[in-house]
A and B are shown apart, each in its own frame.
Chain A
Amino acid sequence: MDGNDSEQLRETPLRAVHEALGARMVPFAGYLMPVQYPAGIIAEHNHTRQKAGLFDVSHMGQAWLKGPDHETTAKALETLVPADVVSLEPGRQRYSQLLNDDGGCVDDLMISRSAYPGMEGRLYLVVNAGRKDVDYAYLQERLPDGIAVEPLPQWALLALQGPLAEAVLATLLPRVAELDFMQGAPFEFEGAGIYVTRSGYTGEDGFEISVPEQKAEALWSALTADGDVMPIGLGARDSLRLEAGLSLYGHELDETVSPVEASLLWSIPKHRREQGGFPGAARIQREIAEGPARKIAGIKPEGRAPAREGTVIMADGEEVGVITSGGFGPTVGGPVALGFVPPALVKPGTKLDLMVRGKALPAEVVKLPFVQKSFKK
């Protein structure tokens, strides 16, 4: 979701820090956010792949979903998402989608079972900035009495991503090294409780750190004091996630797109595919059985010209689809894109033409991700 200049922009607790670093600030999802720092998007991207990048993602929506016990809360949420939430162990995290009755995505989100002692029955949710108001209203409306959504606007969120993320963060919080991918735990920073999950949106190993807003700047400073850490803006966040083949809401996902179409079937476990029990289950089960009308594929344009969102995809002279995200992948060293094509064309090696400025640009379907993920095993 892009920002809108006409409305009052919200800001994160780190706005002044970004401006002092010389960031270029742009409206994004209703927030004034750093799109890049003076180093530039390519340098920021490469630094994240090689060392460690620090992102302010405090615009993301963080919330508790609170119920009397884990099973009750998890079962309630499972009526709206197709993931297995019930089997989550304390501290474990899963990626899923909030679905509407047509099986389209209201949002995509991260769901963690709280690892806080004495906080049984709580799930910690992280949702997209541009969708949080819609999500919270939808959750509250559709969940039964006794399950409450509690947004956490006074919490900032920092992401530290890259192969050196563990070494850097462990200098402050030694026990983060014990976390597995998609696992979180509470920690203490300067006397304040913070919550760290081993997750991210770059295809690299890394952490997301939920911190009270009054401690955000101190944590940012403590992390950037390490010479291996560079601040990274939303521009590189986008090129990193695109190379990792990760969906972005408003591009690959929206209210009309099902998880099957978005090539996210991996996030729906077998028993939930069979049993349903989430909104739009009939459509999703039909798409699993018969194939969806369209599917997200990785697309590599030949040459150097990027194909942007909205570019028409042709095959054998016919219009067959559209690019949903497209740009330059610094690690790939060339243009990369995601787009909808008919399922018959998702096979790697399929030749496509992309209509860029009136000319057919040759391209090929490739296996995702464009860059091999380096998550902690």
Chain B
Amino acid sequence: MSDAESPTKPTLTPAAQTEDFEPVEVFPETTEMDLRPGSDNCYKCTACDVSCPVAEVDDKFPGPKFQGPEQWRLKRKEDTSVDSSIMSCSNCMRCDDACPSGVPLSQMHNTARGEYVETEMDKLSREYIRNRILSNYGTLAWFGSKVPRLTNAVMGNSLVQQINEKVLGITSERDFPEFATQTFREWWEERGGAATSKERAQEARAERGGPQVRSEDKRVAYFHGCYSNYNTPEVGKAMVRVFESFGYEVVVPKQRCSGTPMFANGMLDDARRAAGINVENFSGLLNEGYDVIASCTSCSMSLRQEYPELFDIDGIEDVSEHTYEALEYLRIHEDLEGAIAEASVSDQAFAYHAPCHGRNQGLDRQAVELFRELDGVTIEDVGDSCSGISGTYGWKSEKYDVSMQIGADMFDHMEHAEGDVGMTECPTCSMQMAHGSGYEIRHPLQLLEEALV
């Protein structure tokens, strides 16, 4: 590997390297994050407000500029509390991508939302309890998956859905995602775990020939997240098989929810606990040559951006710097395009939607650009709008209509696309796509598995 392939972070402060440099402490040490520079960078161009999918359909929502820099400034007055409209932000993070001036909008929103929930929200209120349940989907799913058939039957029961709606404020318009009868982790253990993966990777490396590669260079730790573990294990299996076919040894460390639904609901304490466990379980592997791979773009977003922005945990930056989305990793480290150019699959057409969190990592075009070169595949981007569900957002009774209005453009484009199978990286976008179109939705890794394995 050349340096280009394993780049290190450039030193942005050369002065700090010279020996006679003595840093002067100007401000007292604080554990609070300082959002002032971010606030000062805002020059009120409103590019963020124009990009906000919620503001576009909800006339009452004041938009990201208010939620971020303006609210931060208002809050300098001691008797000012965070406005309740922060709970209408869906944490799609599109404002980050729109800002020409580097204002850390989503970080400001996450912080404000955390403060609002902490200080303003009644912990016995229906909204708080509902949000806590939704944001801890992983725990819920853990119980549910113990008896998947029973859970599916119960959750699909219309009476239960009515109770959810009336008692908890969870919309009865949506069908609860079905639990798989065998979780990804159960499959992984049954298959022989890391030892089996090592063998298969070695076989693949031998078969691929070429120069002998040390196994240290081909190791990945899979962050499967909750959804591909409990609901779509076929995505996790595809990840394992595709990476093994390129000669990678896969390990699957113990893990908690990435924290995405917790950030979006202002449950920062829950998110910090989950992040602590994830960082502890993954950071030790980095020294052994492992990179962290996620198949869900919100999971990779969380590990890459939100963790280091919001939490101060040992090793958190290391994990962040070594985290990749699955296709992204293969594009950088393997000749994925070459492999796809030589492959073919049976004729199929896809309507692809780029999730907002993938968009913000610069991954919004990769699936379309890759698969349009795959023999047998027609793939079309269904536009750059947000799907509208934004994780737990579209599950809330009071947000359901807004969520469907945001998604209207995408549904319309799906209907007009040639394909009648949807494709996206994000589990909740796929729920929304299926809900609005009735299409089956697949993950790019599943098509990659079909083409290459």
- Please determine whether chains A and B interact with each other in the same assembly: no
